[in-house]
A and B are shown apart, each in its own frame.
Chain A
Amino acid sequence: MIEIKDIVKIYRTGSETLTALDHVTLTIQEGEFTSIMGPSGSGKSTLMNILGLLDSFDSGKYFLNGKDVSDLTDDERAAIRNKEIGFVFQSFNLMPRMNVLENVQLPLVYAKVPMKERKRRAEEALKRVGLENRMYHKTNEISGGQKQRVAIARAIVNNPSVLMADEPTGNLDSKTTLDILRIFQQLNEEGTTIVMVTHESEMSAYTKRIISFRDGILQSDELQEPKVLPKGGV
């Protein structure tokens, strides 16, 4: 469960200051599939980086699974990211010299999971995104959509509390976008909590909850009946 209270994030560049998040309070429960909406520059990525413990904030409190994580050292945050958070980036960020299986294993390497166990869990994660027959391909030998599915497998391989995706389909065509959304819905159904940043309402229509931002201020927070994609076929 994610709880943030009165989070303020201010960027200072020279003499200018910019309030990227202005007293944001929200709670995300286990099992939710939430999209964070808003125009460019509204603070979506800033919020995502804070929720993902990549960035710090100026005031407010952050509780992750009931634990106060507002004030941690870099290494403590690295450990929590490794265990509790799975990232999916717009530009995939796969390791170029590793094959698909090795890429997916990377979080488990940092979690100090033994090699055999690592391989078994990575294979399982790849099965969940439908890439079990691409395990030994290099990352430059697969398509964009497949790359993002590898990234999703990597994000879920260590069973995190929450999967965070910042514009995950920004570099993909519309058909592949639907493939990714289908995987997200399937994972969510299997119990994974997902937070997805997007600026397109066509995307957020597939999520259960929409939180909107404008100029760093939370504008609206609504539950909805998501559009459902037919399962399988990825």
Chain B
Amino acid sequence: MFFKENLKMAFDSIFANKMRSFLTMLGIIIGITAVIAILSVGNGAANQLTQTFSDLGSTSITLSAEDETGSQEMITNEDIQLLKETIPEIEYISSDNQTRSELSSDFETRTAVAWYGTPDIQFTNQSMDATVIHGRYFNQNEYDDMKNVTVISEDTARALFNDRTDVVGEMIRLDVNREQLNLQIVGVVAGAFEDLQGTFDLSQMPVMLAVPHTTMSQLSSIPSNINSLTIQVETTDDIEPISNQAVRLLEIRHNSVGENNYTAYNMLQALDQVNNVLSLFINFIAAVAAIALLVGGIGVMNIMLVSVTERTREIGTRKALGATTRTILVQFLMESVILSLIGGIIGLMFGILLANGIASVLGITPDITLGAVGLVILFSSAVGIFFGIYPARKAARLDPIESLRYE
């Protein structure tokens, strides 16, 4: 009813004491600035992480086996075949391992990362491109027969064969812990480091090759047991059920139901963990901001109590003129809410500025949500009401005669 009048009175009295009002708002301004900046930067970082993680492999599952006895074969080649046959959503499945090595041609010797697995490693491996540009990938027969074959990347070919890329049929020698394997190149895949051309000294980068697991296990330092699998599925939605299904199938086949020997892991879980850490951090800052708001609220209460005392006579006069207890209560409550709200809005603006500043330093896009803005409005109003109610009640309950006599 008195909304407009109360609003005007609140503004009049806040602007009558500009400095005092500003100092009172300071706690709220700082609190809200912190909340908005942290929320916006935090959300921006979370968005970025989510994007990165999805790009990286939201459709890929890593399934690993823990062999407690140390001797059992935890994952067999038959298991891999069976998984692929029984779970149609599985696109590719491969053991996916790597070892440091040295790779030599007749011309050149380079440090290398040797990837080894089943033929599907072509698709499950994130480091080597799946696009074959010369020859072909090694196949299931070569895998089963432990053929000494390999696929190398384009830049590996260039490094080892004087800038030639079509090196299908050539022989190379792999050194792993002073044991050698002579391998015939059956295919060349697209280069891995094209993006980095010019940024790094590529001659220092390790080259890459892929070899059948069976072939690699001829070396004494490479176990023939498969203890981890990379599974590629079609959509992110398939991740959970297929992880569970795959683990269950392996448990049943190896009589180890309930022993937790097999664990499935996905990037999304990693994302969850990162997000957990991030939200822990956000909550911590939010708690600090809440303390600033609390202090700000106490400031509001203090200044409102001073204001009530200063305006005792005014309150007495208003009551003489017909103001009810409620009218006075609402008037003073309105004033403290407006005070907090102005503080909140100033804080919001500073918060947005600060968020943009921090975000541009970190190279991310701040995410200022409508929800956060609403939260600020709600929160600072709540602070105004919570800390304004006591002074307002004090004003409303003043005895008219006593207050009229007050000097």
Q: CB within 8 Å of B: which residues of A?
A: 49, 52, 54-55, 74-75, 78-79, 81-83, 87, 89, 93, 95-98, 106-107, 109-112, 115, 154
User: What is the total of A-B residue contacts with beta carbons within 8 Å?
Assistant: 61
Q: Is the CB of A74 within 8 A of B318?
A: no
Chain A residues positioned under 8 Å from B323 (CB to CB): 78, 110
Asked whether A79 and B401 contact (CB < 8 A) given A93-B313, A93-B317, the answer is no
Q: Is the CB of A78 within 8 A of B313?
A: no
Q: Is the CB of B320 within 8 A of A110?
A: no
Q: Mark B1-17, 1 if CB is under 8 A from A, else 0.
A: 11011000100110010
Q: Is the CB of A54 within 8 A of B322?
A: no
Q: How far is the CB of A141 from chain B (nearest CB, A)?
A: 16
- What residue of chain A has the Cβ atom nearest to residue B13's Cβ? A97
Whether, in the assembled complex, B314 has its beta carbon less than 8 Å from a beta carbon of chain A, the answer is yes
- What residue of chain B has the Cβ atom nearest to residue A95's Cβ? B314
Whether, in the assembled complex, B127 has its beta carbon less than 8 Å from a beta carbon of chain A, the answer is no
Q: Is the CB of A109 within 8 A of B2?
A: yes
Main secondary structure of the interface of B (DSSP, over half): helix
- What residue of chain B has the Cβ atom nearest to residue A55's Cβ? B401
Chain B residues positioned under 8 Å from A115 (CB to CB): 4
Query: Complex: how many Å from CA A87 to CA B322?
Result: 11
Set A52, A96, A109: member contacting B320, Cβ < 8 A: A52
Number of interface residues, chain B, beta carbon within 8 A? 25
Query: Complex: how many Å from CA A97 to CA B11?
Result: 11
Q: Mark B396-407, 1 if CB is under 8 A from A, else 0.
A: 000011001000
Chain B residues positioned under 8 Å from A55 (CB to CB): 401
Q: How far is the CB of B346 from chain A (nearest CB, A)?
A: 23
Whether, in the assembled complex, B324 has its beta carbon less than 8 Å from a beta carbon of chain A, the answer is yes
Q: Is the CB of B321 within 8 A of A107?
A: yes
Q: Mark B326-351, 1 if CB is under 8 A from A, else 0.
A: 11000000000000000000000000
Q: Is the CB of B13 within 8 A of A54?
A: no
Whether, in the assembled complex, B213 has its beta carbon less than 8 Å from a beta carbon of chain A, the answer is no
Query: Complex: how many Å from CA A54 to CA B299?
Result: 34
Q: CB within 8 Å of A: which residues of B?
A: 1-2, 4-5, 9, 12-13, 16, 313-314, 316-327, 400-401, 404
Q: Is the CB of B322 within 8 A of A79?
A: yes
Set B5, B16, B326: member contacting A97, Cβ < 8 A: B16
Asked whether A87 and B320 contact (CB < 8 A) given A93-B404, A97-B16, A109-B2, the answer is yes
Asked whether A109 and B324 contact (CB < 8 A) given A93-B313, A95-B317, the answer is no
Q: Is the CB of A106 within 8 A of B325?
A: no
- What residue of chain A has the Cβ atom nearest to residue B4's Cβ? A115
Query: Complex: how many Å from CA A87 to CA B313?
Result: 14
Q: Is the CB of B321 within 8 A of A54?
A: no
Chain B residues positioned under 8 Å from A106 (CB to CB): 318, 321
Q: Is the CB of B321 within 8 A of A154?
A: yes
Q: Is the CB of A54 within 8 A of B400?
A: yes
- What residue of chain A has the Cβ atom nearest to residue B1's Cβ? A112
Chain A residues positioned under 8 Å from B16 (CB to CB): 97
- By CB atoms of chain A within 10 A, which of B5, B317, B401, B404 has the most? B317
Set B2, B320, B325: member contacting A81, Cβ < 8 A: B320
Asked whether A54 and B401 contact (CB < 8 A) given A95-B314, A109-B2, A109-B5, the answer is yes
Q: Is the CB of A110 within 8 A of B321?
A: yes
19 contacts between A and B (CB under 8 A): A49-B401, A54-B320, A54-B401, A78-B319, A81-B321, A82-B321, A87-B320, A89-B317, A93-B314, A93-B404, A95-B314, A97-B9, A97-B13, A97-B16, A98-B12, A106-B321, A109-B5, A110-B323, A111-B322
